[in-house]
Amino acid sequence: MSLKKGLAIAVGIGVGIPMALSVSIVFAATSDDSGGSGGGTVSSGGKLRVGDEYVPAQYAGLIEKAAAACDQGLSSGVLAAQIQQESSFNPNAQSKDESGNPIADGISQFIPSTWATAGVDGNGDGKKDVWDPEDAIPAQGEMMCKLLKTAKKHPGYNGSPIELALAGYNAGWKWVDYYKGVPPERFAKGQTYHYVKNIIASAAKFEVLESASGSLSSDGWTLPVDGPLGTPYHQKGSSWASGYHTGVDFVVPTGTPVKAAGPGVVYSAGWAGSYGNQVIIRHDDGMYSQYAHLAKTPSVKAGQKVSGGQQIGVSGATGNVTGPHLHFEIRTGPAYGTDISPIPYLRKRGITV
């Protein structure tokens, strides 16, 4: 919903707090960490897309810069999806409680107490202005980056790092600690639970516009390996730290050639703990593909340009596995926890799977 400054809306006191919440619950939930909402990637034309909706061009660059400033793998998509949920990209948005008292301000919907400690002078004009997107969006990015860093220190919590960070941004990290994960639906009448769920879903819809039609190029794109699909995306289970599968598996024997799904630049290549030997490639739309559990050290190096279909390694069973296969992810950022459903993305690239 697009909020207008001065419009009385019966919401709670924090970012994204829904109408049904009482003020007392929301104050407790948002006294230490609050923020905005959104998700996607920035195109070379300075626009973001979700379905048929576009992010105003003047904000796309700010979102991209805020995400790039974070060393934790924060995606511009998540930031955009947060803002979309908080204010529908309205810099004059202001939410109010049932009595008409202002609660949160600006495009990223900061409550005053949070802005006092987390606000930044993003444009260097000597003023930290919550109503100025050039200040609010960088502040949102910094807060999300810090929360993401904290989230990665708790691999046993219920939720991926980005989900935990979103929950902390919305409800306050103390509630994430209390529930050891994303607060359940019973908390605050489901506000934080659905806030996280909705943003993650929206982030997967954002895509780069590479042409006037907004279609993604299929030139050079292919399946990463010749073999049948195995474990699907987001299958739940105790085998994964997040509680669910963050990619898709291709069931192939050790030694099967693994190919770059599309043209791009190798972001990293080498040992990655539970992922074993892996390669991560950044593509022309700012998205990343990951190839894990390779049998041996990858045949490509960071910074190397690769073409779609080029062999980058061979499948194996290194890292945390129960047998040989290729684990494949599509991510909005290079880091764990920024995954989106890979099959729809591949299909947008013209791949039949």
With residues binned 3-state (H G I as helix, E B as strand, rest as coil), the percentages for the chain, rounded to 5, are: 30, 20, 50
Closest CA to 64 of 96, 90, 97, 40: 40
At 98, the amino acid letter reads E
Mean pLDDT for the chain overall: 80
Which pLDDT score is estimated for 331? 86
Tokens at residue 86, please?
Answer: 């908080």
Which pLDDT score is estimated for 54? 59
Judge whether residue 234 has pLDDT over 70.
yes
Judge whether residue 240 has pLDDT over 90.
no
Looking at the chain, the whole-number percentage of residues with pLDDT higher than 90 is 50
Between 37 and 66, where is the model more confident?
66
For the segment 7-50, what is each residue's pLDDT rounded down to a tens digit? 222 222 234 333 233 222 222 223 233 333 222 223 333 344 44
Among 52-56, 63-67, 184-188, 333-337, the range of highest mean pLDDT: 184-188
Between 258 and 233, where is the model more confident?
258
CA distance 79 to 156: 25
CA distance 332 to 116: 30
Residues 342/291, Cβ–Cβ less than 8 Å: no
CA distance 6 to 290: 46
Between 176 and 284, where is the model more confident?
176
Instruction: Please give the distance of CA 278 from its chain centroid, rounded to a whole number.
Output: 21
DSSP 3-state assignment of 197? helix
Which pLDDT score is estimated for 328? 97
Give the residues across from 5 on adjacent strands: none
Which pLDDT score is estimated for 106? 95
Which pLDDT score is estimated for 50? 42
Q: Which residues are catalytic?
A: 86
Which pLDDT score is estimated for 16? 38
Alpha helices in the chain (DSSP H): 23-30, 57-68, 76-87, 112-118, 133-151, 161-171, 173-179, 191-203, 342-348
CA distance 77 to 169: 16
Judge whether residue 88 has pLDDT over 70.
yes
Looking at the chain, the whole-number percentage of residues with pLDDT higher than 70 is 80
Per-position DSSP letters for 20-51, written without gaps between them: TS-HHHHHHHHSS----EE-----TTS-EEET
Judge whether residue 241 has pLDDT over 60.
yes
